[in-house]
Structure 1
Amino acid sequence: MRKPLLTTEFLDRARRDYGDMEAIVATTGERFTYEEFGDRADRFSAALQDRGIRKGDTVAVLDPNTHYHLEAAYGIMQIGAIHTPLNYRLVPEDFEYILNDADVTAVFADYELAGKIESIRDSVPTEVFVTNDPGEVDGEWEDFDSIVESAGPAYDRPEMDEDDVITINYTSGTTGDPKGVMRTHRTETIHAYLTAVHQEIRDDDVYLWTLPMFHVNGWGHIYAITGMGAKHVCTRGIDAESIFAAINGEDVSYLCAAPTVLNMLLDHYGSHGVSTTGAADVRVATAGSAPPEATIRTVEDEFGWYLKHVYGATETGPLITTSDARRYFEDDDPDRFAVKKTQGMGYLGTEIRVVDGNGNDVPEDGETIGEIVVRGNQVMDRYLGKPEATEEAFNERVEGYYHMGDLATVDGNGMIQIQDRKKDIIVSGGENISSIELEDTLFEHPNVSEVAVIPSPSEEWGETPKAFVVPESGDPDDTDVSAEELTQFTRDNLASYKTVRRVEFVAELPTTATGKIQKYELREREWEDEDSMVGQG
């Protein structure tokens, strides 16, 4: 039998099997059962259809991790419209590009964020604007709760195919404009299945939303947590005190945390000695470059949490590997940290390779470096409107595999470990930052002649952008502009998380014989005291 894989099945199952059980703990203090969650999603579906939204239309969501995002996401998908979550750290110009690129017809925006959309409202194709508190927003916005209440629960669910695109997630624009990653019912569903298995999600889990829901649909947790009938604990941003309070107050059993968040928790724990668990054992997932061994040791030995290290990209679902390979270590074995620091082995049904420039697999010696490529059912369908970029992403070194852009080794057990990055990206606090975008911005300053931006090691963020600037005067001691002024210049023109944090004035930049800037030399110098040239960000 072949049954289509549809994202709507996750909420359908939860309502059917866990309808009377608590589904969401809202930031407002409200609590919703799965039947109440489903009813609000139904009513949002009806409200969208009342406003002319149909299957295939694109609806954007700009929201911190509140219950509104969950309700809106399922309300959108239930009518076959395309859920497009937006990174709330972006600036209005970024939103203008995305809303036009995806031809967004309707948007829900949290009242604290709606101003970013209002400011570019006349420059986008969007016609329907909904928020959760119109009184706090300039312009004409409809109220989510009011339209949900008045719409009624009846809506028309269209026939859907598992190969229909159901969500578009935008990359961080590491090379040029952000790219819309088009994901189907099938890719989302299979990724959620894999996440449920490898992250050991159960119906009695209490999941704390520290990971942004906009970030590849919260690593698929809007599906996996819902479908398993577990409980969502929502947040409006994160800080260490509130995380520990939620863990204790709601008996949280599972959360995700970038290495920078783990460091924040460690600092708070060291200063305040708070309780790290409630009534439940805690699992924590972290992604990308592994946290330092000392961080993993404290999380596991002092917090009493079990850490899972995973890896992926927006284009891959995101999750494609895990270092949670317990046949390779004992829970109390200090050697387990050597395993957990790797990006690990492929998820079920996922083929991970490390290949050289000719597309051949590198030796499994833990030393030879190649690029990570992946093939699996959770990998994206394509980039929106970018066939050439899609072709390159899947075929640059080896045909039919998505190319991750990360350089790694692979050991005798088949576990990969990232050593460097092929792309000009900086991963700071879990966010991808384009060095090219920062360079283009700094070039606009009249006192900047040449500039190269690289990742610089940061204890707080893993990596942070650093600019090497040749001033217009050519003299690093006579610049006519300060490092602080250039930092503010990037802050004024880009999303706050992209701000250049460090500036070094130089007389010249290292170049090849043809004049190409040798960023690798700058990185080698900047990271000479570190174990690798990839931060724990």
Structure 2
Amino acid sequence: MIAMFVDLAVRDFLDRAELVYPDRVGIVDEPRQPAPSWGAVTYRDVARLARAQAAGLDGLGVPAGGRVAIVSQNAARLLVSFFGVSGWGRVLVPVNFRLTAPEVDHIVRDSGTEVLLLDPELAHLREATTAKHVLVLGEDDDTIFDRAHEPIEHPIAESATATLNYTSGTTARPKGVQLTHRNLWLNAVVFGLHLALTDDDVLLHTLPMFHANGWGLPYALTGVGGRHVVLRKVDGAEILHRIDRHGVTLLCGAPAVVSAVLDAASAWDGPVPGRGRVRVVVAGAPPPTRLIERTDEELGWEFVQIYGLTETSPLLTVNRMRAEWRDLDPLRRARRLGRAGAPALGVRLRVADDGEVLTRTNHNLDGYWDKPEETARALAGGWFHTGDGGSLADGYLTISDRKKDVIVSGGENVSSIEVEDALTAHPAVREAAVIGIPDDTWGELVTAIVVLEDDTATADDLVAHCRERLAGFKCPRRVEFTDALPRTATGKIEKYALREPFWKGREKRVN
């Protein structure tokens, strides 16, 4: 008996789109960008461009397994690179476009990048990098995309690294996360299944594509023949305009993206676009309960929450509306949707004795590039250690905090997420971040950094509001007000930046 085994590869998604939907518009490029916009591109041309990019890398002498880094805001050229680089056997290194020149050069050096592709607004980085070839998107397209030759077909094993994604590096040098073709293929298919993707779907790329490879949707949506609409910069009003103009059915992002849309919707003239049609997928930070309620009430969009990490490709859990919840009042529905979610198909979760969430899944990283000891720690016992604290009940995971974000005050553990949720339930609070700061009496003092909608609330008002909802030891003992919270490119609040002034000069970040 002859057994057949076919390796999974990310190019499978593009091959299907080209075969089944060649004349369908696959990508609508960002019209306002420094590189010439590609406009509307059919899947036949997406595949041609991907082959041309692979041929361009052949011409530069980049071998199979060679590293190709790209630093770009959302653009069709970046989207094509997920296939043009990895689809012909090289390793794509998508880099956060907000990093400094030394940070980008560290990634170039650490990864062994041979070719660095730069957004035109980041062309200055070519003076500060050690990459052998540095090319600017748009300006150097004739070299990047060789339309005159067919690419060399390198055999691809599903165990081969397809992308090398660098972690945020907020407390140390960023680590390169090796994700294989198998990791990315299964993540994309499982995510597509849980979102029920079809060829009617239109995805607005509000999520930076560099972030965990756009959560796998550049692959999944291409495979089913859906349409990608590229958005270069997140803006609430522009998101609504694009949804209206392109018939968008799906978008992704951190809770801050939804907040921006809600702000814009309050000034929108007429019905909010996408009501009853759009589903918005949120991750990156636990969303406030009130945000979930408002998404339903004010936008009429389906709120979907997922949980995962770059190291898990990223999908681990999914939380969508269930038939059993439809008759619940809005607050109870929102609370159910506020959990991280149930394990996605093929994902196994458990909570360790110390409260850390562990997972076994085909989406887990192959390893940290050139860091065997850190890989061994992360995958100890055959489970990936997420670094998040949480609990499992009725099949659903609730994240209580990053382990490092748990505040120990007076000997009690306080979840900053729980306190933030209580604060944002106050109508005067736009957003809040809760951190622990050193205190001689309490060890760590529960401290709230708050952005107000208006000036109608005082610190005392907010503490009293929390006392109605939380045990006394969980309530903020200090409240500070600010105009805005620092965020990463993906919309996560940079709590380390908020902590820094309070902990500066101390050897330890616990007290």
TM-score class, shorter: 0.7 to 0.9
Give the match for residue 216 of structure 1: 212
Give 3-state SS (helix, strand or coil) of 1:237's partner. coil
- Secondary structure, in 3 states, of the residue corresponding to 2:379? helix
| Residue in 1 that maps onto 2:14 | 11
Measure, in 2, the Cα distance between the counterparts of 1:129 and 1:90.
17
How far apart in 2 are the matches of 1:415 and 1:250?
A: 35
Q: 1:237 to 1:73 in 2, by over 3 A?
A: same
Name the CA shift for 1:516/1:68 in 2 (closer, same or farther; >3 Å): closer
Aligned-residue offset at 1:462? 5.2
414-423 vs 236-245, which deviates more?
Answer: 414-423
Is structure 2 residue 81 aligned with structure 1 residue 72?
yes
Contact 2:503 2:509 (C-alpha < 8 Å) held by counterparts: no
Give the alignment of 1:383-402 within 5 angstroms. Answer: 383-395=368-380, 399-402=381-384
CA–CA distance in structure 2, aligned partners of residues 32 and 183 of structure 1: 28
Residue 134 of structure 2: aligned partner:
129
Question: Are positions 1:518 and 2:510 aligned together?
Answer: yes
* Structure 2 SS opposite 1:408: strand
Distance 1:149 1:51, change over 3 A: closer
Is 1:381 equivalent to 2:366 in the alignment?
A: yes
Residues 272-316 of structure 1: CA deviation (Å, up to 9, x unaligned): 456432597101100144322221111112211001011010101
Q: Which residue of 2 aligns with 1:361?
A: none
**2:401 alignment partner AA:** D
Q: Are 1:405 and 2:387 counterparts?
A: yes
Aligned partner letter, 1:382: G
1:27 to 19, 27, 30: 30
Q: 2:46 aligns with which of 37, 60, 80?
A: 37
Taking the aligned partners of 2:146 and 2:321, their CA distance within structure 1 comes to 51
Q: Which residue does the alignment assign to 1:90?
A: 99
Matching of residue 245 in structure 1 with residue 226 in structure 2: no
What are the Cα deviations for residues 126-157 of structure 1, in whole angstroms up to 9, with x where unaligned?
Answer: 112221244xxxxxxxx12x235654251111
- Match of 1:96, SS? helix
* In the alignment, structure 1 residue 336 sits paired with structure 2 residue 317: no
For 1:94 and 1:274, the matched residues in 2 are separated by 45
Q: Does 2:400 match 1:419? A: yes
* Residue number in structure 2 paired with 1:291: 287
Local SS of the residue matching 1:113: helix
Q: What count of residue pairs does the alignment treat as equivalent?
A: 437
Q: Which residue of 1 aligns with 2:68?
A: 59
Q: Does 1:276 align with 2:246?
A: no
Alignment RMSD (CA, Å): 3.1
Q: Distance in 1 between matches of 2:313 and 2:505?
A: 41
* Superposition deviation, residue 259 in structure 1: 0.6
Displacement of 1:328 in angstroms is 4.1
Unaligned runs of 5+ in 1: 135-142, 358-369, 427-453, 471-489, 510-514, 520-537
Distance 1:43 1:409, change over 3 A: same
Amino acid at match of 1:15: E
Q: TM-score when scaled to structure 2?
A: 0.79
Deviations 1:489-533 (A, max 9, x none): x99xxxx98683577669998xxxxx95535xxxxxxxxxxxxxx
Q: Does 1:111 align with 2:114?
A: no
- Shift of the 461–218 alpha-carbon distance from structure 1 to 2, 3 Å rule, reads farther
Deviation readout 1:54-108 (Å, 9 max, x if unpaired): 1010000111110010122211113200011001111111111110000000011
CA drift at 1:178: 0.4
SS at match of 2:282: strand
* Distance in structure 1 (CA, Å) of the matches to 2:262 and 2:326: 24
Which AA in structure 2 matches 1:128? H
SS at match of 1:107: strand
Partner of 2:157: 161
Please state if 1:355 is matched with 2:325: no
Residue 239 of structure 1 deviates from its aligned partner by 0.5
Describe the shift of the 1:114–1:409 C-alpha distance in structure 2 as closer, same or farther (beyond 3 A). same
Residues 503 and 149 of structure 1: CA distance in aligned 2, closer, same or farther (over 3 Å) = closer
Deviates more, 1:457-466 or 1:165-174: 457-466
Following TM superposition, by how much is the alpha carbon of 1:222 offset from its aligned partner in structure 2, in angstroms?
A: 1.3
Structure 1 residue 372, shift from structure 2 partner: 0.6
3-state SS of 1:233 partner: strand
CA deviations over 1:430-467 (Å, ceiling 9, x no partner): xxxxxxxxxxxxxxxxxxxxxxxx99969666538897
**How many Å apart are 1:114 and its aligned residue?**
2.5
For the residues of structure 1 that align with 2:82 and 2:279, how far apart are their CA atoms? 26
CA–CA distance in 2 between the matches of 1:410 and 1:165? 32
Match of 1:346 among 343, 350, 371: 343
Determine which of 347, 353, 356 is the counterpart of 1:371.
356
Amino acid of the structure 1 residue aligned with 2:74: N
Residue 98 of structure 1: SS of its match in structure 2?
helix
Tell me if 1:170 matches 2:166. Answer: yes
* Paired amino acid for 2:236: A
Could you say if the C-alpha distance between residues 214 and 6 of structure 1 is closer, same or farther in structure 2, counting changes exceeding 3 Å? same
2: distance between equivalents of 1:508 and 1:159? 53
Structure 2: distance between partners of 1:506 and 1:286: 31
Change (3 A) 1:356 1:180: same
Q: Give the letter for the 1:65 counterpart.
A: N
Scaled by the length of structure 1, the TM-score of the pair is 0.75
Write the distance in 2 (CA, Å) between the matches of 1:237 and 1:282: 20
Q: What is the alpha-carbon distance in structure 2 between the residues aligned to residue 500 and residue 289 of structure 1?
A: 16
User: Which residue of 2 is the match for residue 364 of structure 1?
Assistant: none
5+ residue gaps, structure 2: 32-36, 408-415, 441-485
Q: CA deviation at 1:331?
A: 6.6
Distance 1:503 1:349, change over 3 A: closer
Contact 1:284 1:306 (C-alpha < 8 Å) held by counterparts:
yes
SS in 2 for 1:48: helix
Alignment of 1:371-520 (within 5 A): 371-395=356-380, 399-411=381-393, 413-423=394-404, 463=433, 500=497, 517-518=509-510
Alignment correspondent of 2:186: 190
| Identity of matched residues, % | 33
- Distance in 2, Cα, partners of 1:165 & 1:238: 30
Contact kept? 1:299, 1:307, Cα under 8 Å: yes
